[in-house]
């Protein structure tokens, strides 16, 4: 899997502003997660039904898959997958609710469903905020020197987000299934492995055999503030 260090901002802007029936919430690898605007249905004071969409980054249409769900808007949030027709009222008593997860889109779907139905006039703004600054509550941000896979070019101040509770890592707002977080390091990458030392704030890239390919630095300050 190639490490993508930039996103097509223009294309994403078009997705938000066009009338395509969904709000984009999150990207994991080559999949965008969104929620169907028209599917949201308030069931009672704590439950909202909706449809989570899985969208291929390079080929948005047709949508890869649709998953009907019911979000439980409590603390902690939970989500249940429902079957049958989306137009039918969800049978709450027969649903099995589970804790939400960051990398399968369930966290984003539940949070958006709950918040956008509380603030319907801010749905598009909420979706964009979730995409641009989204992450679990304990998400930390560092800015690191990185290289795109197969390149000798060094890019400084690339945003890396990571959440210990979700064990998840994102690079430039793209969450990576290869990411992991421990008390000592942040790790991501498949073909080569990147490791960020959380105490020293340095970063290294190693080949599968262990050979070091690159070393650089990270900073908790955004580049403009250095």
Beta-bridge mates of residue 66: 53
Written as six digits, the tokens of 50 are: 């909706």
The answer on pLDDT for 6 being more than 50 is no
Distance, CA of 201 to CA of 47 (rounded, Å): 42
For the chain, what are the domain ranges? 9-133, 140-225
**Amino acid 211: pLDDT:** 93
How much is the pTM? 0.85
Written as six digits, the tokens of 14 are: 């078009």
% the chain with pLDDT above 70: 88
191-220 per-residue burial string, b: 16 or more CB within 10 A, e: under 16: ebbbbbebeeeebebbeeeeeeeeebebee
pLDDT greater at residue 34 or residue 84: 34
**Amino acid 18: pLDDT:** 45
pLDDT, one tens digit per residue, over 57-92 is 988 888 999 999 999 999 999 999 998 776 677 789
Written as six digits, the tokens of 208 are: 């599968």
Distance, CA of 112 to CA of 115 (rounded, Å): 5
The SS3 call for residue 200 is: coil
Distance, CA of 143 to CA of 183 (rounded, Å): 18
The answer on pLDDT for 11 being more than 50 is no
Mean pLDDT of 194-223: 94
| Cα 71 to Cα 12, 21, 135, 150, 222, distances in angstroms | 26, 19, 18, 42, 35
């Amino acid at each position: 899997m190639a490490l993508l260090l930039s996103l097509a901002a223009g294309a994403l802007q078009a997705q938000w502003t066009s009338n395509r029936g969904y709000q984009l919430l999150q990207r994991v690898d080559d999949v965008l997660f969104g929620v169907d605007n028209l599917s949201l249905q308030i069931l009672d004071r704590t439950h909202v039904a909706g449809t989570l969409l899985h969208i291929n980054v390079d080929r948005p249409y047709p949508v890869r898959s649709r998953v009907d769900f019911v979000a439980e808007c409590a603390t902690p949030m939970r989500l249940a997958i429902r079957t049958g027709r989306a137009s039918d009222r969800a049978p709450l008593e027969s649903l099995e609710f589970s804790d939400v997860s960051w990398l399968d889109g369930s966290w984003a779907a539940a949070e958006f469903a709950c918040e956008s139905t509380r603030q319907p006039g801010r749905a598009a703004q909420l979706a964009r905020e979730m995409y641009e600054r989204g992450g679990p509550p304990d998400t930390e941000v560092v800015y690191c020197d990185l290289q795109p896979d197969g390149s000798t070019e060094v890019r400084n101040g690339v945003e890396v987000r990571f959440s210990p509770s979700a064990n998840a890592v994102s690079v430039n707002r793209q969450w990576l299934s290869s990411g992991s977080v421990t008390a000592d390091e942040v790790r991501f990458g498949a073909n080569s492995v990147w490791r960020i030392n959380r105490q020293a704030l340095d970063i290294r890239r190693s080949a599968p055999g262990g050979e070091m390919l690159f070393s650089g630095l990270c900073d908790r300050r955004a580049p403009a503030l250095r």
